Amino acid sequence: MSAPNKLENVFPKDDFETLKPESNEPAMSRNVDADVRRDRLVNHPEHYKQNPNGIEVIEVTRHLNFDRGNAVKCILRAGHKGDVNDEITDLEKAAWYINDEINRLKSERNG
């Protein structure tokens, strides 16, 4: 029995399925295309590149602290993952990170 593919633990099943190449492609092309698709899913996911000016979310969030960066990330990707439930969840996550940052600041202020 072969070991499970580690990518199945990283990507949701639907994303992982999109990595599978078409069977009628030449073997070399299948490997290159799978690598390109995997790179896009890992390094440049579409739901993080929706800003009209072309800036990826990470270009902004890497300059912020954890809570603020995650709040911005969740807000910018909201509505770009294909499902209204995902959009609501992303906005709820953003609110959670903002509230966590507010609580951290209040805690620091109050010593």
Residue 73, classified by CB atoms within 10 Å of its CB into exposed (0-12), middle (13-18) or buried (19+), is buried
Cα angle, residue 37 at apex, residues 35 and 39 outer, rounded to 5° = 65
Which pTM does this prediction carry?
0.58
CB atoms within 10 A of CB 8: 11
Structure tokens belonging to residue 13: 């099943």
Residue 67 · residue 61 · CB < 8 Å: no
Residue 91 · residue 74 · CB < 8 Å: yes
Structure tokens belonging to residue 78: 């909201």
111 vs 109: CA distance, rounded Å = 5
Res 94: pLDDT: 97
Domain coordinates of the chain in residue numbers? 7-43, 48-110
User: What string of pLDDT tens digits covers the 111 residues of the chain?
Assistant: 444 444 444 444 444 444 444 555 555 555 667 777 676 666 666 655 666 777 888 888 999 999 999 999 999 888 887 888 999 999 999 999 999 999 999 999 998
Res 12: pLDDT: 44
